[in-house]
């Protein structure tokens, strides 16, 4: 089974931008609203993927990802998604022994910025960059699937 081990954090300030070594615009939508898994289609630049993740909250969950033709992905985004697509720019920032993925959301999820780190094991240590804020790994509201259905702009807190 493919397993993702990932932690999510809010980002404070903009100091991370100086160290970003790459970026990519993403558009992703969800093909189902609830159930045991989220099914996502994503366009990232000139590539597209279908992704299936276990619908659980926490740092460890099953994940499967497969390349699909970009034309198919664009058609699915336009006609099959059950919520408006998520629009974001992902930046990659090296810090310590790891590369962080920082997602800056647009549209109804702006000005949300989330940093993610993928690990090889649940007990793998990692250095915390100075721009790292609150750990939101266990807060379902910050998962992309949840943000598609309940955008950040509509939160009351």
Can you count the helices (H) and strands (E) in the chain?
Answer: 2, 9
Question: Given 30, 95, 142, 143, which residue is catalytic?
Answer: 30
* Positive or negative: CA dihedral 79, 82, 84, 89: negative
Residue whose entry in the numeric block shows the structure tokens 């800056």? 104
Distance CA(94)–CA(113), nearest Å, equals 17
For residue 56, give the DSSP letter. Answer: -
Identify whether 64 is a catalytic site residue.
Answer: no
Distance CA(130)–CA(157), nearest Å, equals 24
State how far the alpha carbon of 128 is from the alpha carbons of 57, 95, 97, 103, 120, in Å.
Answer: 22, 8, 11, 17, 17
**Mind telling me the catalytic residues?**
30
């Amino acid at each position: 089974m493919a397993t993702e081990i990932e932690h999510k954090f809010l980002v404070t300030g903009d100091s991370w931008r100086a160290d970003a070594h790459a970026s990519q615009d993403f558009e992703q939508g969800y093909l189902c609203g609830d159930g045991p898994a989220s099914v996502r289609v994503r366009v990232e630049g000139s590539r597209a993927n279908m992704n299936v993740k276990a619908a659980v909250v926490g740092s460890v969950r099953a994940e499967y990802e497969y390349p699909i033709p970009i034309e198919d992905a664009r058609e699915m985004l336009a006609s099959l998604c059950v919520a408006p697509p998520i629009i974001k720019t992902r930046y990659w920032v090296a810090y310590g022994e790891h590369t962080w993925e920082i997602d800056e959301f647009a549209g109804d999820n702006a000005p949300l910025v989330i940093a993610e780190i993928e690990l090889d094991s649940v007990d793998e240590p990692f250095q915390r960059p100075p721009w790292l804020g609150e750990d939101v790994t266990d807060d379902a509201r910050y998962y992309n699937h949840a943000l598609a259905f309940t955008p950040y702009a509509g939160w009351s807190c």
